[in-house]
Amino acid sequence: MNYLSMSKDEIADELQLMKQAYQTYQDKNLQLDMSRGKPGSTQLDLSEGLLTTVISNDDCKSLAGLDCRNYGSLEGIPEMRRIFARILGVDMSEVMVGGNSSLNMMFDTISTMMTKNINGDTPWERLDKIKWLCPSPGYDRHFAITQYFGFEMITIPMNSDGPDMDKIEELVSTDESIKGIWCVPKYSNPQGITYSDEVVRRFAKLKPLAKDFRIMWDNAYVIHDISEKSDRLLNLMDECKKCGNEDLPIMFTSTSKITFPGAGVAGMACSEKNMNFFRKKYSVQTIGYDKINMLRHVKFFGSYEGLMEHMQKHRAVLEPRFNAVVDKLETQLGGLGIAKWIKPNGGYFVSVDVLEGCAKRVEKKKKNAGVILTNAGATFPYGKDPKDSNIRLAPTLPPVEELEIAMDLFCVAVKLAALEKLA
């Protein structure tokens, strides 16, 4: 029965019931973590071969003949660049391989532009005001970077096929202080939305007033399908090249959720002009990133095809977890009129919009019953969800049986928060 059409008495009765249900969960003394997009140990176990991949003194050269143990190779070994090129759909020459964190490469990208302008103009640190577009709900660690550098973040609403392009086009064409945008174009964090062809084409055709405007295209989940029906993302770089806009995007990805979050390999890709700018900085910043880890990854995957087979193993682990989460939402919250969600075909999250003003309350209730959620509000700039409505669920870490308990509790908490609001 839809909560929104209940009478006062019905609400009071239901509230009483849910309070009792909630109490039973509190008594269970749960300790579950659904806060971060962390792979569970079953997933980590899939990459044990990376730990045990045999590299010896006689077998530590890259395809280019370079000893991976020694200094050199600023852009990474060719075979790892090639794999990232396949993943991102770009040319190998457009790829640079970094350390273990694409977040670090994104931070470094913006940090570089703070003290050197990519077009030779005024460095961003010397400008009075920088603004940045933040499709939201989005990734809290993206927003933390732009907040750290003091940018004014502008929330861009997310539609079912990607960010609101009307708003983006209008803003970037009229405000020169807008210097960039965060995007997770495939299986977006947290909604699992893949940008439509039209959205990608409109990104490629953007004509920002700021010539140093850049699209931070974080393709973190580009090959992270979790269902039979996988999404297809149009290639932004190809589209950009068609309209002479290839300097617009800077692309990122990593193996954090392919092998190990703590010991993977990250990569970025961009136009030659952009890469020349960043390479100049990287050549001062380091002599090169960890080539032995790159070599381990290449040997472990065997090939791009081997990597894609490996992703099927992740899917086998994750699909039941996402199904468990969405099943619980459908059976327990379906039709009540108090929550909306999208069933994603990939990525790491399920995003739920509860009644306005209820997200923080739901988070608190779960915490008090021993289940940690991502902080309510974290999916918006400055940690402030204007509607206090969005909740990010991360189903990857707990095993299915724990997940089901956590989701039962979640649904009770959502109901309780809604009833308290309606009462």
Give the list of residues 6+ apart from residue 128 with CB closer than 8 angstroms, or none: none
Return the range that interacts with its own copies (CB under 8 A); candidates 93-101, 157-165, 240-248, 400-408.
93-101
260, 277, 300, 322: which one binds its own copies (CB under 8 A): 260
Which of 35-43, 220-228, 240-248, 372-380 is the region at the interface with its own copies (rule: CB under 8 A)? Answer: 35-43
The smaller minimum CB distance to its own copies, of residues 23 and 286, is found at: 286
Closest CA to 285 of 111, 102, 145, 119: 111
Distance (Å, whole) CA 48 – CA 53? 9
Q: Which of 22, 25, 39, 195 touches its own copies (CB under 8 A)?
A: 39
Span interacting with its own copies, options 6-14, 110-118, 309-317, 358-366, rule CB under 8 A: 110-118
Which residue's CB is nearer to its own copies, number 188 or number 255? 255
Structure tokens at 126: 């010397």
Residue 129: other Cβ atoms inside 10 A: 13
Residue 197: CB minimum distance to its own copies, A: 32
Residues 6+ apart with CB under 8 A from 220: 102, 184, 189, 252, 253, 254, 256, 257
Q: Can residue 68 be called a binding residue for its own copies (CB under 8 A)? A: yes
Specify the stretch interacting with its own copies by CB under 8 A; choose among 189-197, 201-209, 256-264, 348-356.
256-264
**Which of 103, 134, 373, 411 contacts its own copies by CB under 8 A?**
103
* 14, 79, 94, 108: which one binds its own copies (CB under 8 A): 108
Q: CB–CB of 197/234 below 8 Å?
A: yes
Strands 266-269 and 249-254: antiparallel
Looking only at Cα atoms, what is the longest distance across the chain? 78
Selected binder of its own copies within 190, 288, 381, 395 (CB under 8 A): 288
Q: At what angle do helices 140-148 and 102-115 cross, to 10 degrees?
A: 20
d(CA 267, CA 85): 9
Verify binding: residue 104, its own copies, rule CB under 8 A.
yes
243 Cβ partners below 8 Å, 6+ apart? 204, 205
Radius of gyration of the chain from its Cα atoms, rounded to whole angstroms: 23
Q: Residue 129 corresponds to which tokens in the numbers above?
A: 């005001």
Site membership for its own copies, residue 33 (CB under 8 A):
no
Residues numbered 145-184 forming contacts with its own copies, rule: CB under 8 A: 145, 148-149
Element of type H or E holding 368: helix 359-368
Examine residue 72 and tell whether it contacts its own copies (CB under 8 A). yes
Those residues with Cβ within 8 angstroms of residue 246's Cβ, 6 or more apart along the chain or in another chain: 237, 240, 271
- Residue 115 as a binder of its own copies (CB under 8 A): the answer is yes
The phi and psi torsions of 354 (rounded to 5 degrees) equal -95, 180
52 lies in the site for its own copies, by CB under 8 A: yes
Question: Which of 11, 15, 74, 114 touches its own copies (CB under 8 A)?
Answer: 114
Number of residues that bind its own copies (CB under 8 A): 56
Using CA atoms, how far apart are residues 138 and 60, in angstroms rounded to an integer?
Answer: 40
420 contributes a contact to its own copies by CB under 8 A: no
Stretch that binds its own copies, among 102-110, 196-204, 321-329, 363-371 (CB under 8 A): 102-110
Q: How far is the CB of 23 from its own copies (least distance, A)?
A: 32
Among 22, 97, 101, 134, binds its own copies (CB under 8 A): 101
User: Residue holding tokens 């708003």?
Assistant: 167
H helix count then E strand count, the chain = 14, 13
122 belongs to the binding site for its own copies (CB under 8 A): no
Q: For residues 112 and 281, is the Cβ–Cβ distance under 8 A? A: yes
395 sits near its own copies (criterion: CB under 8 A): no
Nearer Cβ to its own copies (119/286): 286
**Based on CB atoms, which residue is closest to its own copies, 42 or 323?**
42
Burial class (CB in 10 A: 0-12, 13-18, 19+), 59: exposed
Binding window for its own copies (CB under 8 A); candidates: 139-147, 210-218, 343-351, 370-378: 139-147
Q: Which residues bind its own copies (CB under 8 A)?
A: 36, 38-39, 41, 44-45, 47-48, 51-52, 54-57, 60, 67-73, 99-101, 103-104, 107-108, 111, 114-115, 123, 125-126, 141, 144-145, 148-149, 256, 260-263, 281, 284-293
